Structure 1
Amino acid sequence: MAGWFLLFGIAFIAFALSAVSGGGAGLVLMPVLGLLLRPEGVPVALSIGTAVSSVSRIILFFRNIRWHVVLRFVPPALPAAWAGVLLLRQLEPAYLNLLLGLFLISNLPLVLRRQREIETVPQAGNIAWLPVVGTLAGFVSGFTGAVGLLFNRFYHRLGLNKQEIVATRAANDVLLHLVKVVLYVSYGMLDRATLTAGVVVAMAALISSVCMKFSLRHIPDHLFRKIGHGAAVAAGVAMMVIAGNQIVTKDRIGVHYSRESSEIKIALDWRQHRVALELEKPAEIEVRHTMNPQIGTSPNSAEFQYTLSHILHVSIIDGIYVTHVDTRHTNAPDI
C-alpha cells in the first residue's frame, strides 16, 4: 500500500513538471513503475495514466490546440503504435530504454546554454516532416508506453508557445494512448497490479493538470524550455540506471579480475557466454570464449558447467593459433 501512495506522490510531481516542461511525465515515471511492475506492465500503466492526463489537458487548453499539427501527426502514429506493441511482446524493453536514456541525456548541452541562446528558436517551422515524427513517436510509444520529451524539440521548432505545446501534444497523444490501451488489453498484458498502477497514475495526472492550469501562464517561455531539457536529462539518467540494472540482472552480466605472479586474467560474463583475456609470461596472450549450455543456472551453483571453449593464442614464440577444448566442471572456472 505504501508503494501506491509513493507512486501517487511522484506521479503528481511528474505531471506537474510535465505541464511546465511540455511533457515527459511518462519518462520520469518509467523508473518508478519499473520497481513496482514487471517490465511489460510499465508501458500499459503509463498509457492508462497518460491517456487521462491528455484528456484533462485537452479540456483545459482546448483553445490552444493547433489542429493542422494533429492532422499530420496522428494518422501515421496509430499503425506505428500497433507495431511497437507487437515488438514489446517479443523483445526486452530494457535495451530500448537504455538507448532512449542516452538520447535524452543528449539534451544536456541545451540545459547549459545561456538564456540568450535558448530564446533563439524558429518562429515557423516546416510541418512536412510531421508524419515521420508521428510514425517514430507512435512506434516508440507503443514499445515503451511514453515518448514525452523525446520529441519536444520538434514542437519548439514549429514555433509553438508553451500553452500550444501542452495542448497540441495532448491532442496528438490521447487517441494514441487509448488505442494502445485497447491493444494491451487484447493481448492479455493487463493484470491487477498494472491496472492499479494505471489508476493511481491517472488520478495523480488529473489532479496535477487542474492545479497547473493556472500556473503555466506565469512561467517565462525560456524557462519553460530549459526545464523541459533538464527534465529530459534527469529522466535519461534514471532510465539508464534502471535499464542497466535490469539488463545486468536478466543477462547475468559480470566482470571478473584476478592477478597471479605469472598471469593476469580479466573475464566478462554475458548470458551463457564468458570471454576471458589472459596475459601470461613471458609474452603470451590468450583470448578464451567459453559457452555454458545451461541457461538460467547461477555461475556459483554446483550444476554450472563450462563447455566448448575456444582459445586464441598470441605468442612471440609460437605465433598465432587456435585451440578447442571441451571442458566439463561442476564449478565455474576460478578466475
Structure 2
Amino acid sequence: MFFPYLFVVISALFAFSLSAVCGGGAGLLLLPMLGSLLPGAQVPAALSIGTMSSSFSRILAFWSRIRWDIVVWFVPAALPAVWLGARLLSYLNPLYLELLMGLFLMANLPQIFRPAAGANTTPSMPKWVLAFIGAAAGFVSGLTGAVGLLFNRFYLRYGLKKEEIVATRAANEIVLHAIKLILYASFGLLTSRALTVGGLVAVAAMASSWAMTWLLPRLSERFFRQIGYTAMVVSGLSLFIDASGQVISKNSVALDFSPLANGTTTQLQWRNTLFSLEFEYDEGFEFEHTIVFNDLPSDKQAQVRALSRGAEKYVLEEVFSLHQRSYEVYVYRGNKLEKFDI
C-alpha cells in the first residue's frame, strides 16, 4: 500500500510544478490518476483538498498581484453553481462531462501556433461576462473538482500578466474549494481514504507553490502563454482518452465498419442498442437504430405480429433517410433470417 501513496505525492508534485509554469491544470492532470485509487464520486473531494492548499499558498505568495475587480464579479456567481455541481455529483456520472472538457481543451491547439500578440491592456469583455464565467467555473468545479485549465483561456485573453493570473485565479477558487469540501462532507463523499489521498496532494501542492515564487518571475509572458495553451491541449487529450476508455468499457461500446454490395455500413453498439449508418450509392445515407415493440406506431405493430408469428426472435429497427422514415423487421425463424420493410 505504500507505493500507491508515494506515487500520489510524486504525481501531484509533478502536476502542480507544471501548473506553476503553465498557469493551472494540476487538477485535470491528476483526475485519471486519482480515479485509479478512489471511487469516482470521491475523486473531486480528495482533489479539492490539494487544490485548496495550493490556492492558499499562492495567495500568500502573490497577494499584491490579485485583481480584485475580477474577484468581486467572479466569486458571487460561482458560489451557488458550486452547490449545484456538487449536488449533482451524487446523481450524475462525471465521465461524460470530462469527455466534453477534453474536447474543449483540445480545441485550443491553434492557439499554440499563433504569433504572440502580447497581453491586452484593456479587457475586451464586459463585466457581466465575469459573472457568467464564474457560474460556469463553479458548476464544473463542483462536479469534477478540477477547473483551472478549463478557464485558463479566459485569464489569458482578459489582459492579465502571468503573476496576476496565478494570484487572481487562486483568490477566485479558494472560496469555491472551501465550500466544496463542506458540501462533499455533507454528502458523505469525504471519506478517510479521500482525506488521506487529498492530504498527500496538498503537501505536494504547497511545495510547488514555494518553488513558483522563484520560477515565475524568470519566465517571459510569451513563453508563459504558449506553455499554458500547450498544457490545455495535452491535459484535454489525456482527459478525453481516459474518460472515453472508461465510457467504452462500462457501456459495452463497439464500432464496426463493413462493406456492402453497393456501399458501406458503420455500426455502433451502445449497451444493448445498435445504431447503424449505411451509405448506398443508389439510395444515399440511411441511419438505423434498434427499437422496442412499443415504440412502433399501432398500425406497424399489427404487421410485426403477423410477420413474426412462429419466430424464435425478431429485431426491430427504425430507419431514417433523407426523405422518409421507415421500419425494418428481422425475423429469425428456424435457421433462416428474413428481413421485411414495413
Same fold (TM over 0.5): yes
Is residue 109 from structure 1 mapped to residue 119 from structure 2 by the alignment?
no
Which amino acid in the other structure matches residue 68 of structure 1?
A: D
Tell me how large the CA RMSD over aligned residues is.
3.2
Which residue in the other structure is 2:159 paired with?
A: 159
Which residue in the other structure is 1:123 paired with?
A: 121
Q: Deviations over 1:81-109 (max 9, x none)?
A: 11111222221111110111111011111
Which amino acid in the other structure matches residue 123 of structure 1?
A: T
C-alpha displacement of 1:123: 0.6
Which residue in the other structure is 1:298 paired with?
A: none
Uncovered stretches (5+) of structure 1, i.e. residues with no partner: 294-304, 330-335
C-alpha displacement of 1:160: 1.8
| SS of equivalent to 2:160 | coil
C-alpha displacement of 1:3: 2.1
Counterparts of residues 211-250 of structure 1 (less than 5 Å):
211-250=211-250
8 Å Cα contact 2:84-2:139 kept in structure 1: yes
Change (3 A) 1:313 1:150: closer
C-alpha displacement of 1:2: 1.6
Equivalents in 2 of 1:107, 1:306: separation in Å?
A: 49
C-alpha displacement of 1:149: 1.5
Which residue, out of 318, 327, 334, partners 1:322? 327
C-alpha displacement of 1:323: 4.1
8 Å Cα contact 2:289-2:317 kept in structure 1: yes
Is residue 9 from structure 1 mapped to residue 16 from structure 2 by the alignment?
no
Which residue in the other structure is 2:63 paired with?
A: 62
8 Å Cα contact 2:314-2:329 kept in structure 1: no
Residues 60-69 or 234-243, more deviating: 60-69
C-alpha displacement of 1:36: 2.3
8 Å Cα contact 1:290-1:306 kept in structure 2: no
C-alpha displacement of 1:4: 1.9
Change (3 A) 1:216 1:311: closer
8 Å Cα contact 1:77-1:134 kept in structure 2: yes
Change (3 A) 1:309 1:163: same
Which residue in the other structure is 2:316 paired with?
A: 309
Equivalents in 1 of 2:159, 2:263: separation in Å?
A: 62
Counterparts of residues 207-286 of structure 1 (less than 5 Å):
207-256=207-256, 267-276=267-276
| SS of equivalent to 1:99 | helix
Uncovered stretches (5+) of structure 2, i.e. residues with no partner: 294-311, 335-342
Equivalents in 2 of 1:204, 1:176: separation in Å?
A: 20
Equivalents in 2 of 1:272, 1:77: separation in Å?
A: 39
Equivalents in 1 of 2:319, 2:169: separation in Å?
A: 55
Equivalents in 2 of 1:29, 1:206: separation in Å?
A: 15
Which residue in the other structure is 2:72 paired with?
A: 71
Which residue in the other structure is 1:333 paired with?
A: none
Give the TM-score normalised by the residue count of structure 1.
0.82
Change (3 A) 1:225 1:292: same
Equivalents in 2 of 1:159, 1:260: separation in Å?
A: 56
Equivalents in 2 of 1:250, 1:57: separation in Å?
A: 39
Aligned length: 310
Change (3 A) 1:176 1:89: same
Counterparts of residues 54-203 of structure 1 (less than 5 Å):
54-115=55-116, 117=117, 119=118, 121-125=119-123, 126-203=126-203
Change (3 A) 1:309 1:193: farther
C-alpha displacement of 1:41: 1.9
Residues 139-148 or 13-22, more deviating: 13-22
Equivalents in 1 of 2:136, 2:257: separation in Å?
A: 42
C-alpha displacement of 1:287: 7.2
Residues 173-182 or 156-165, more deviating: 156-165
Percentage of identical aligned residues: 44
Change (3 A) 1:325 1:202: same
